[in-house]
Amino acid sequence: MLSKKTSYWRLTMIFVGLVFLIILSASSIIFILLLLRSNGIIQFQLSANPLRMSFTFAVISVLLGTILSFIFGSIPLKVIHRIMIAIDALAAGDFSTRINLKGIPELQQLSKSFNHMAEELSSIEILRSDFVNNFSHEFKSPIVSMRGFAKMLKYSDLTEEEHNEYLDIIISESDRLVELSKNVLNICKIENQAIISNSKEYNLTEQIRRCIAIMAQKWIVKDPSFDFECEEINFTGDEDLISQVWINLIDNAIKFTTTHVLIHMSLHQYNDSIRFSISDNGPGIDEETQKHIFDKFYQGDTSHATHGNGLGLPITKKIIELHSGTIYVKCANGNGTTFIIELPIQK
């Protein structure tokens, strides 16, 4: 790909060459006319007055230059017209619009850039539609559930057990709405954050131990077991944000497996980076789900039977990227799931 400076000078030279070609063409035509006159091939009178003759040549040059400029100028104008039509179509919502310009490398690069922009806009539109649909579903489901059970509580023939059960469901769905609202606000805040403002050095290993203790208490019914292979590592970053990463990953590892789950974690330093991995012995994730697990509101469990709203992993990924790190998943059906995080060490 040409650099911006090289591309600028190429376009400048093309424009200068075009102007020079027009002037040269006009001068050549005048020279040919004079040559033909001197050989007697054509006849026309030239004024004896030098001033008048100069004015005549100037008028002829202007006319020829205008005609030639119109001819040569129509070529780039056609290209610009095609681009304008494509841009208008794109603005109208037709993201399938593509252009295929031929000629100089700059025009070919313009085609590639425009087509890439159209593809990105198409992807964004698809994500926007999915986001709205999923967001609506996640909010509508608990509201409809709460409304239904609230109506049932108006019946006087309910037993005390049924009454308490319906109240527990309403409370549970209310908690689900609160968690969803909190996660939506959280991911909006993180996505609009460009830099880490509360960066400090702290013990990363101890932070993960605390998160393990928190999540073990939350999922005490599943009785999870943890195997944490680690070394003591200090890390510089936003302690609160990074804490969300470990909680989300541990929560997912327990949530999508059966009882008595074994979770293996490791934390080691390699040269100028930190590598963290967390693995479970669950059913794993299929290839199609792996492609979308970091998309907002995406859930591999399409039945929505598992508690969650599809925002944990997108939040995790954004936090890691804010710290200039990477996160990826490795798994095979039936052999568990492993999430791997690599974070650079700040110097």
pLDDT of residue 347: 60
Tokens of 40: 């007697």
Q: What are phi and psi of 162, to 5 degrees?
A: -65, -40
Among 272, 274, 268, 298, smallest CA distance to 285 is for: 298
- Do 318 and 333 form a contact (C-beta atoms < 8 A)? no
Greatest CA separation for the chain: 122
- Reduced to 3 DSSP states, what percent helix, strand and coil does the chain have, rounded to the nearest 5? 60, 15, 25
For the chain, list the domains and their CATH numbers. 4-94 (no CATH), 135-191 (1.10.287.130), 199-344 (3.30.565.10)
pLDDT of residue 274: 93
pLDDT of residue 209: 93
Q: What are phi and psi of 202, to 5 degrees?
A: -155, 170
Q: Tell me the one-letter amino acid at 262.
A: L
CA angle (264 as vertex; 258, 269 as ends), nearest 5: 155
> H or E segment at 270?
strand 262-270
Q: Give CA separation, 281 vs 70, 153, 256, 274, 340, in Å.
A: 73, 42, 10, 24, 15
Instruction: Output the tens digit of pLDDT for each of the chain's 347 residues.
Output: 445 556 555 655 665 566 666 666 666 766 676 677 667 676 655 555 555 555 566 666 666 666 656 665 555 667 777 888 888 888 887 878 888 877 777 778 888 888 888 887 776 666 666 666 666 766 777 888 888 888 888 887 888 888 888 898 889 888 878 877 777 777 777 776 667 778 889 999 999 999 998 888 888 888 888 889 999 999 999 898 899 899 989 988 888 777 777 889 999 998 889 999 998 887 777 777 777 787 766 665 544 444 555 677 888 898 999 899 999 888 766 678 889 999 998 76
What 3-state DSSP class applies to 203? Answer: strand
- Do 334 and 340 form a contact (C-beta atoms < 8 A)? no
Please give the model's pTM, rounded to 2 decimal places.
0.55
